């Protein structure tokens, strides 16, 4: 094991990426979840996305959720946007950190937005300029970075060249999305190595899914390589509802549980976070896949049996 970081910044994505992939819940419930998360000590939250309500009805009330949320000092909130229109809405709502997505897989990108990866990249430069012009930071999330369900492996050099491009266009950070859980320790190492050979300076964030059980092994590998920013979703919110039980997003409490055990600070109160995961189950009415939610942290003991 290499030298581990002292501190890791978890970005909680349950309110956006999580809820976007669950059955819709009421606005009140979304505000409750967001507010509860803001009080866990987490340092970053992806709060909403500004997408067309026909495309993603789960986020139709993004403006209202964000206006009603109680923003906590010290928490950095961000929004995801698909295009210029979304970016304008995010800026109008006061966001100063915005994420945009492009897929490393051409096929996946075409399926999502009906254009090639290159065509999407052509649009990004303008979008980044728009954000910078309003003093907002722009993060580019590169989906299918660890593999594409249609194309299979994605050459890390292709992903690295996309990083080159978006860095040139002004991106402040890149995130690598393991969209369908194809990431493994080997793929994490290969991708980070390829990216850093060409762009050692750009801050990177990793977004893992636990589809095949590898999320924490992937995180461990990334920690060894010095990565200190990760997405995670409270309770594991966001598991594809059409495949019950199939894990989606890495559960925040599983990530925090392992990090804290390693002595790595996250700022998060794990017990408080587990209570929010319980709330997330209540609000979605769905049994969430998080093991730490189910079993509690390893420090939670079973009462001694009476003799």
- Catalytic positions are 240
Contacting a copy of itself (CB under 8 A), which of 221, 228, 249, 284?
A: 221
Burial level of 127, CB count in 10 A (0-12/13-18/19+)?
buried
Written as one string, the DSSP assignment of 46-74 is EEEE---TTT-GGGTTHHHHHHHS-PPTT
Residue 137 bridge partners (DSSP)? 97
Q: Would you give the DSSP letter of residue 113?
A: H
Q: Which of 1, 133, 200, 242 binds a copy of itself (CB under 8 A)?
A: 1
Give the nearer residue to a copy of itself in terms of CB position, either 40 or 105: 105
Which positions ≥6 away from 94 have C-beta within 8 Å? 66
Q: Is position 3 an interface residue for a copy of itself (rule: CB under 8 A)? A: no
Instruction: Map residue 198 onto helix, strand or coil.
Output: helix
Q: Among candidates 49, 52, 157, 147, which has minimal Cα distance to 103?
A: 147
**In a 3-state reduction of DSSP, which class is residue 306?**
coil
According to the binding rule CB under 8 A, does residue 40 interact with a copy of itself? Answer: no
Q: Which stretch binds a copy of itself (CB under 8 A): 65-73, 134-142, 244-252, 278-286?
A: 244-252
Residue with smaller CB distance to a copy of itself, 26 or 213: 213
CB atoms within 10 A of CB 172: 18
Sign of CA dihedral 303, 234, 216, 223: negative
Asked if 206 interacts with a copy of itself (CB under 8 A), we say no
- Phi, psi of 130, deg, nearest 5: -55, -45
Contact of 75 with 38, CB cutoff 8 Å: yes
In whole angstroms, the minimum distance from the beta carbon of 234 to a copy of itself comes to: 14
Separation between Cα atoms, residue 153 and residue 134, nearest integer Å: 37
| Interaction between residue 104 and a copy of itself (CB under 8 A) | no
Binding segment (CB under 8 A) for a copy of itself, from list 10-18, 146-154, 168-176, 193-201: 146-154
175 contributes a contact to a copy of itself by CB under 8 A: no
Binding a copy of itself (rule: CB under 8 A), the pick from 118, 186, 226, 282 is 186
**Total binding residues for a copy of itself by CB under 8 A?**
53
User: From residue 115 to residue 144, what is the string marking binding to a copy of itself with x (rule CB under 8 A)?
Assistant: ------------------------------
Query: Which segment (27-35, 45-53, 69-77, 177-185) binds a copy of itself by CB under 8 A?
Result: 177-185
Binding site for a copy of itself (CB under 8 A): 1, 107, 111, 147, 149-152, 180-182, 184-187, 189, 210-217, 219-221, 224, 243, 245-247, 251, 254, 257-258, 261-263, 287, 289-292, 294-295, 297-299, 301-302, 304-305
């Amino acid at each position: 094991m290499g030298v581990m970081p002292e501190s890791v910044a978890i970005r909680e994505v349950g309110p956006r990426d999580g809820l976007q992939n669950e059955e819709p819940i009421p606005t009140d419930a979304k505000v409750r979840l967001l507010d509860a998360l803001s009080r866990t000590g987490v340092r970053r939250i992806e709060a909403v996305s500004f997408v067309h309500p026909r495309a993603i009805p789960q986020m139709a009330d993004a403006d209202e959720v964000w206006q009603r949320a109680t923003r906590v000092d010290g928490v950095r909130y961000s929004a995801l946007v698909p295009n210029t229109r979304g970016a304008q809405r995010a800026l109008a709502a006061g966001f100063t950190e915005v994420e945009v997505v492009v897929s490393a897989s051409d096929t996946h990108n075409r399926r999502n937005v009906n254009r090639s990866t290159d065509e999407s990249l052509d649009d990004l430069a303008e979008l980044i300029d728009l954000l910078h012009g309003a003093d907002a930071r722009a993060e580019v999330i590169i989906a299918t970075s660890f593999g594409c369900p249609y194309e299979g492996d994605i050459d890390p050099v292709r992903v690295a060249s996309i990083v080159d491009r978006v860095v040139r266009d002004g991106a402040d950070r890149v995130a690598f999305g393991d969209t369908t859980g194809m990431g493994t320790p080997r793929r994490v190492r290969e991708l980070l190595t390829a990216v850093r050979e060409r762009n050692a300076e750009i801050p990177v964030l990793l977004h893992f899914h636990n589809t095949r059980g590898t999320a924490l092994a992937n995180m461990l590998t990334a920690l060894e390589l010095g990565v200190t920013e990760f997405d995670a979703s409270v309770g594991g919110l966001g598991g594809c509802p059409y495949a019950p039980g199939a894990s989606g997003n890495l559960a925040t409490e599983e990530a925090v549980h392992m990090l804290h055990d390693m002595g790595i600070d996250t700022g998060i109160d794990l017990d408080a976070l587990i209570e929010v995961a319980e709330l997330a189950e209540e609000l979605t009415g769905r049994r969430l896949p998080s093991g730490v939610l189910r079993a509690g942290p390893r420090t939670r003991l079973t009462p001694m049996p009476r003799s």
